[in-house]
Structure formats: C-alpha cells, structure tokens
Structure 1
Amino acid sequence: MTAEFLESQTYLPDEQEQLASVASFLDAHQTKKRGRLKPRYFLAGAEEHDQIELPEALHKVLLQAVAALAAGKAVTISPTMPKLTTQQAADLLGVSRPTVIRLIDAGELACERIGNRRKILLRDLLAYREARRQRQYQAIADTSVDVSEDEDPAAVNERLKRIRKQRAEQRRKAAGH
C-alpha cells in the first residue's frame, strides 16, 4: 500500500449507472444471506482463479461506501490510530474535550495513561458511543406518549412533565446522587 492511502481521502460519486448496479447486486445478496449461517465475501481479480476472501468488516465498509455514493453523497475514508487523544475522542463523540475528561474521571470511559497523557482505545470509544446512543433511543421511547385527537393538550403536557421528572429521577439514582 502506498502512503497516500494512509491519509484521509474523499471520493465523489460518479458513474451513477455503474454504482446503481453495484448497489443492486449488494442489496440482492444481503437479502439472500439472511438464511445462511455465515456468509462469505470475495474480491475477484482479472484472472479466472484470482480471488481472495474479504473479512466481514471490509465488506461492511464496501456496503456503506456504495450506498452513500449511490445516494449522491461523497465518502471520506479517514484512517485512525487505534489509540486516540482526548481531543480526537471528543471530536468523534461531538463533545468537548473537558467532557471526555469528565467521562474518564467518572469511570464511564476507559483510558490508558502514557506519562501525563490519556489515550483512549478506539474500540472502547465506539462501544461507549453505541451504548450512549442506545440510552438516548430508550429515553426517547420512554418519554413518548400516544395522543388522540380528542385529548386535551394541557393533559398531554402534564403527562410528559411527569415522565420527564421520572426519567430525571432515574438518572440521578443511576449516577448515585
């Protein structure tokens, strides 16, 4: 591999017809694999028996890239070190660096200390991000209510206030306050 592939690269969508056929092919094979135990993916070369099996993670990257390009979006591939600084972690989470430090100090996010620097394993950060997302989705589900047309908006508002108050109390108890 050349050094240029170790830098961030952005790819713009082009040749929509070709992308559409690749996306269609991948989609058709995604629906077929649901009944199989363990799907296998291959990359084929120019020669008849020139092929190599792709790891599932690389296949997922291909699926996401093709879907985005077929939708007319640009795709940026940005190689990342497996250990991140607190600033890189903050950028990935979309929060401030002090927030990442607080998460580490509270024990919510693991890190390694290298001298006076904190390094966060990418896999730990991605796991934290997914857990946070699931908590957010659950909070949305917990605070939603079905409303009928004949229901009084003030009564609905009161129900929502009670639900939000209960969620806040649950968060306080979980945090140990």
Structure 2
Amino acid sequence: MAGAALKQETYLPEADAQVAQIYDFLEAHEKAGRGVPSPRYFLAGATPGDQVELPAEIYRAVRQVVEAMQQGLAVTVVPQTQTLTTQQAADLLGITRPTVIKLLDSGKIPFERSGTHRRILLRNLLDYRQQRRAEQYAAIDATGAGRDGEEDLETTLQELREARRAVAARRRGAAE
C-alpha cells in the first residue's frame, strides 16, 4: 500500500455479520463505562505479535465508518491536503468562494498568501466551522427559552430548522 496514490473512494456496506460484530464490540465497550477508549486498540496481522496500536484519530475514523455501514450507509473517504484553496474551503463550508474571501479579509479565518493566492490551513477552517456551529446552536437554544414542553417533536424540530436557517442568513448577510 505504501506509495499508492490517494484518491476519493466510496465504500458500500456489506450485508454480512462482520460489520455488526465490530459495531457491537465498539458499542459494548463504550456502554461498559469505559467511554471512548484511549488509543489502546490494535490492528492485528495473521501472526502472533504482528500488531500496531491505533491512534485515537484513526479509531474515531474507524468508529464512524463502522457506524455508518451498520446503518446501511455508504462511506466516502476523501483524502484532503492540510492547506486548502479558497474554493476547497468554500466547498467544505458549503458557501460560495466570494463569501470565503470576505471571511478571510475580515480576519474571521486566518490564512497565508502564496503570491496572489490565499491558502487556508485545514485546522483553521475546521475551527471556524465548529465556532460557527456553536454560535448557531446557541442562537437556536435561545429561541427555545420558555418552552413548556407541550409541543410535539415535529413542531419543535421545524422551529429549530427555521431558526438555524435564520442564523445562517444573518451570518451570510454579515459576511457580505
């Protein structure tokens, strides 16, 4: 596998018990009060002693893939560079490239210049996305103040969706 070209690949869930077995193992471990494990899971080879410890980040990726496949979903893995163009950043955030440029120029997302091109570190972009989501959810929570708990779930969910759209619209208006 060393030297193999990295590419986007989609994996379809198999209709076998092995995915369910892995899912059940991970689920049981967490329900047993051990929580999300520290990086103490191993990838084992065919011979005794042929193993390597999985770091926490790889464990989380495996866990997410297994959960999705357990639910019958396909999983796409897209290798991503650590430095993004403004278009890649826009695609990741689900906004337009001009909006990304406005966010960069306003200082909301740090970036570096390479000649006339802006380059954004993936970590900075993910931090911004997390911050934006936290602000949106805080605004949604604020709209739920004073609820008496008598509304049905669908009504509440619809109101939350509308509130999130309103927050996103305000954010877009502020970025422009």
Q: TM-score range by the shorter chain?
A: 0.7 to 0.9
1:32-83 Cα deviation digits (max 9, x unpaired) = 42398x4512111111111111110000000000000110000000000100
Secondary structure of 2:109's aligned partner: coil
Residue pairs, 1:39-118, within 5 angstroms:
39-118=39-118
Aligned partners of 1:101 and 1:30: how far apart in 2? 42
1:133-166 Cα deviation digits (max 9, x unpaired) = 11110000011241476xxxxxxxxxxxxxx9xx
> Which amino acid is the alignment partner of residue 127 of structure 2?
A
Aligned partners of 1:35 and 1:83: how far apart in 2? 29
Structure 1 residue runs of 5 or longer lacking an equivalent are 150-163
Aligned partners of 1:82 and 1:109: how far apart in 2? 15
Q: Percent of counterpart pairs with the same letter? A: 49
Aligned residues of 1:16 and 1:70 also touching (Cα < 8 A): no
User: Which residue does the alignment assign to 2:35?
Assistant: 34
Structure 1 runs of 4+ with >4 Å offset: 2-5
Aligned partners of 1:67 and 1:46: how far apart in 2? 25
User: Which residue does the alignment assign to 1:130?
Assistant: 130
Aligned partners of 1:65 and 1:142: how far apart in 2? 33
Aligned partners of 1:79 and 1:95: how far apart in 2? 21
Aligned residues of 2:11 and 2:74 also touching (Cα < 8 A): yes
Question: Closer, same or farther in 2 for the Cα pair 1:114/1:49, shift >3 Å?
Answer: same
Question: Closer, same or farther in 2 for the Cα pair 1:75/1:3, shift >3 Å?
Answer: farther
CA-atom RMSD in angstroms: 2.7
Q: Deviation of residue 15 (structure 1)?
A: 2.8
Q: Deviation of residue 30 (structure 1)?
A: 2.4
User: Which residue does the alignment assign to 2:153?
Assistant: none
TM-score normalised according to structure 1 size:
0.78
Larger Rg belongs to: 1
Question: Closer, same or farther in 2 for the Cα pair 1:35/1:43, shift >3 Å?
Answer: closer
